[in-house]
Amino acid sequence: MNLPHSDFGNTQMNLPRIGLGLAALGRPGYINIGHAEDLAYDYVVEAMERRTHRLLDAAYELGVRYFDVARSYGRAESFLQSWLDNGQYDPSELCVGSKWGYTYTADWKVEADFHEIKEHSLPVLEKQWEESKVLLPHLKVYQIHSATFESGVLDNKEVLSYLSKIKQEGIKIGLSVSGQEQARILEEAMMIRVDGIHLFDSVQATYNILDQTMGTILAAAADSGMGIIIKEALANGRLTNRNEQPDFQKSKETLDAIAQKYEAGIDAIAIAFILSKPWAHVVLSGAAVENHLRSNLSAASIQLEADELQTLSNLKMETAAYWEERNQLKWN
């Protein structure tokens, strides 16, 4: 499969426009609809590692070259590292992005009081950077995981200085944003300089058919030279046939009608909608099984018509309602 490529902002990296996120692969519990079925209810560490390796093999063969992990994704970094350790993959060809700031606390259980705990402090950054460095030289993008005003990370001069030192080692520094405040957080991050140099090279943000609020600011960030990574393109499964909520059925019919024209799944249509935005440099697939990955990647061959893009744009939800619904998704 020939995936289209895009310059990743001013980073001097050119990447395929669809990457693979490992949030659903590195731990037994996650909020994606149908996650348990994807893992076949088999949570043995070795089985999950083999499953991850098979999907990484398939992704690579299909042209994926960006892989996204985080310290809080259970064993995702470890699974990715063991896959990379076979030595078949040229570091100049692959790009790994990881994130710091959350600690995994579910103890390999599907149900837990807390699945992850956020702390954007310097000690956590120092500790997690040392842990993530095992992914070098493939690790090329290091991101603050879900930066918020409440955590104070964008005002923490010690943290920003430490990130600047990592940047000086040739690693691109990014942040991920989430929730209703993600546009305001990105606006502030774009203004941060350390020693006169803009700190952040990239941003990872939620943008999809249901929540399109980030479009304008992401376009501006891309114009400023930042690399743009889109997460939750399928809204954690809400933009797939697995979403059986009554209030989604009319939207699903609209998606189905367009999907039938292109002989594709509604997931592919949802991703193609994002790929129509030139500023969306890399769109993450969150697939946990190969047939879902292949369906996601088929979006690269779909060129939606202007009227179809408008129809899909009209399916957006109110931002507050979108995030309230997301917060109600159950870990499974």
Angle formed at CA 17 by CA 14 and CA 18, multiple of 5 degrees: 130
Q: What is the pLDDT of residues 58-116, one digit of tens each?
A: 999 999 999 999 999 999 999 999 999 987 889 999 999 999 999 999 999 998 888 99
Q: Where are the domains of the chain?
A: 8-326
CATH number attached to the domain at 8-326: 3.20.20.100
Q: Please state the rounded mean pLDDT for residues 119-135.
A: 98
pTM higher than 0.85, yes or no? yes
Structure tokens at 274: 């994002």
The pLDDT, as a whole number, for residue 86 is: 84
β-pair type (5-7, 14-16):
antiparallel
> How many other β-carbons are positioned within 10 Å of the β-carbon of residue 121?
15
C-alpha of 216 from chain center: 19
Query: 139-177 b/e with 16+ CB inside 10 Å = b?
Result: bbbbbbbbbbeebebbebeebbebbbeebeeebbbbbbb
Contact residues for 284 (Cβ-Cβ < 8 A; gap 6+): 18, 19, 20, 21, 68, 204, 229, 230, 231, 232, 233
